[in-house]
Amino acid sequence: MSAFPVADAATTRRAMTALVRGERWALVGGLALTVAATAAGLAAPWLLGAIIDAVARGDTGVVDGLAVAVLGFAALRLVLTRLARRAAHRMGSAPRPGCGRGSSTGSWRCPAASWNARAPATW
């Protein structure tokens, strides 16, 4: 037995569904940005391997182009990661129903960011 109240799986699923219901497209967009940033991050090691293979073959003419591609994918990953974090922040700081200054019973269950109308996104 726990000293703290623990919700069962069905209650947790219902609560999560209620939180995500109004933010469905923000969640899908944030996940898509995260997947794209991960794919861009995985391109750099593959390109570095291609650079090593090209140098081992003695074909140094393609090294400059591959190095520029590595930098391009690194920059792309940086931008996509920042956008994904911004989307997650905006979704996490959105006001929740039953939370806020006007709700005395629900205020203890509210995350700190929901006390603001909408916390500014850090960029």
Q: Dump pLDDT digits (tens) for 24-51.
A: 888 889 999 999 999 999 999 999 999 9
For the ranges 8-22, 28-42, 73-87, 94-108, the lowest mean pLDDT is seen at 94-108
pLDDT at 123: 47
Q: Are 83 and 33 in contact (CB under 8 A)?
A: yes
- For 97-118, the pLDDT digits (tens) are 555 555 444 445 555 554 444 4
- H-assigned helices in the chain: 9-21, 24-57, 63-92
pLDDT (average), residues 48-76: 94
Alpha carbons 85 and 33: distance in angstroms, whole number: 9
Return the DSSP state at 122: P
Burial classification of residue 30, based on how many CB atoms lie within 10 Å of its CB (0-12 exposed, 13-18 middle, 19 or more buried): buried
Q: Which amino acid is at 65?
A: G
Select the highest-mean-pLDDT range: 3-12, 15-24, 50-59.
50-59
Q: Within 13 Å, how many C-alpha atoms sit on residue 96's CB side?
A: 22
